[in-house]
Structure 1
Amino acid sequence: MVLLLFVDLDPELAALRPLGGFFVLNTGGALPSALPTLARTYENRPTETYGNPLTFRVGKVAAVLRAPEPRVAASVFQQGLAARLWSVTLGCALAYDGVPDLDPALLRWDPDASAPDDLWLSEVRPLPADPETVAGVVLHGHLEPLAEALRAHYRVAPGLLWGNAASALVGTARQLGPAARPLTAALLAHPLLSGTGTLTGAAFRRRSCCLYYRVPGGGVCGDCCFTRPPRPSARGASG
């Protein structure tokens, strides 16, 4: 006999609101149909409003940070989007014991906006919150095609991008508290994230660097492989 587990999510994902704006996902209401889907973004298909939404967003991040090279801005952008996706899925997993289907074709985004006004989900379709499903939603559904799209435009090392994904995952779990640790540990064991760093309790030390130290006034992050910004001769190892 096969036992089917059904989960339920409220159409507005209201349980995410108390967690803060970074966890919130817009649903229902007047869907901004003029905005591109993330599926279109990952496919590098241009739009009338933003041209290529991916390069538009990276360009905006580069301008705000005064990034010295595009791949630094690409890294910062990718880690931010990864954190948004992890926040929604882990937040729902704890609040509902289920997660929304974040199919890139269902998610519209505004490359010119910040959380929580950057993402809209056109349909809330519930899925179970087991590690395999969550990995399928975030890692395979989004972060793999996003990495491919970024590598098509910018010289960003795959290890750096997966280190960003792991760092964003652990950062999200830290905000949610001990209840998120089992799911987080299971996700870090996924082949795409395994080897990206070491998790000890709530502390994570990654084996790569997001390059934020290259931003004017920037430094190394708390989970960086470096303890201090590297000298120019060491920069080749940072990606």
Structure 2
Amino acid sequence: MDLDPDLAALRPFGGFFVLRTAGATAGSLPTLAQAYADASPDLDGNPLAFRIRKVANALRAPEPRVAASVAHQGLAARLWSVALGCAALYGRLPDLDARALHWDADGSAPDDLWLAHVRPLPGDAPTIADVVLHGHLEPLSAALRVHHRLAPGLLRGNAASALAGAARELDRWARRHDRTDLAARARDLAAQLLTHPLLTGSGTLTGTAFRRRSCCLYYRVPGGGVCGDCCFPRPPRSSPRATSG
């Protein structure tokens, strides 16, 4: 199945899988490459810093690094969802080059992304890893760590959790719509990707269930609790420094 110019077949999967393409307009929205490259703390000029402040205000986060972790996982979930959804459904992947992928940092969740052009790539695990991990999550993590005390293990866990979550949503949709072929492809791709050196050791995948070995710090948000795949069965009482690795 060839990629269609609007990637319309992704829409039934839900908002995290939708990607606006040439049929829409990005206007003056910055690209993700610009967001990753600009390490300035100036909110007016740095879309990543602006997004973190927006998330912090919405969640009443007690410190910026909590909001930075939540923002990181939200963007990772969008990127994995688009990539995995296309690879499982079409067998192909749109080139999600950060220089062509625009981002509305002031948008609501899930993050609003717009791709300038749809250029097909192979839909295999190595290509997805190259596009998402190397093309986005490595530079995103580096940019976040310029200003926030986010341990590599936390960011690795966020990336793995977001990947497993995307695969789980695809599996649920596919089973409801009698698309066991799509469910199998999504599970297989996710399992392969979780063995990548940048994700290995981040957690354990059992079927579609994932248990991470780090904490995203969401429990520190007022009323947040722990996530379904958290390493903690209940919110810890120890120092938050001990949960960030």
Please tell me the TM-score bracket, short chain as reference. over 0.9
**1:121 matched to 2:115:** yes
Q: TM-score scaled by structure 2?
A: 0.90
> Which one of 226, 236, 239 corresponds to residue 241 of structure 2?
236
- RMSD after superposition: 1.7
Paired position in structure 1 for 2:129: 135
Unaligned runs of 5+ in 2: 172-182
1:198 to partner: Cα distance: 0.8
Higher alpha-carbon deviation: 201-210 or 138-147: 201-210
> Which one of 141, 155, 162 corresponds to residue 168 of structure 1?
162
Moved segments of 4+, more than 3 Å: none
Tell me the number of residue pairs that the alignment of Structure 1 and Structure 2 aligns.
231
1:30 to partner: Cα distance: 4.5
Asked whether the equivalents of residues 23 and 116 of structure 1 are also in contact (C-alpha less than 8 Å), the reply is no
Partners of 1:106 and 1:49 in 2: CA distance:
22
> Which one of 219, 226, 234 corresponds to residue 220 of structure 1?
226
Partners of 2:37 and 2:111 in 1: CA distance:
22
Q: TM-score scaled by structure 1?
A: 0.92
Q: Aligned letter for 1:166?
A: A
Partners of 1:33 and 1:21 in 2: CA distance:
21
% identical equivalent positions: 71
> Which one of 100, 105, 111 corresponds to residue 111 of structure 1?
105
1:51–1:93 CA distance, 2 compared to 1 (3 A): same
**1:43 matched to 2:43:** no
> Which one of 192, 195, 201 corresponds to residue 198 of structure 2?
192
Partners of 1:115 and 1:231 in 2: CA distance:
29
Asked whether the equivalents of residues 160 and 194 of structure 2 are also in contact (C-alpha less than 8 Å), the reply is yes
Partners of 1:18 and 1:118 in 2: CA distance:
17
Asked whether the equivalents of residues 101 and 126 of structure 1 are also in contact (C-alpha less than 8 Å), the reply is yes
1:115 to partner: Cα distance: 4.9
Asked whether the equivalents of residues 39 and 146 of structure 2 are also in contact (C-alpha less than 8 Å), the reply is no
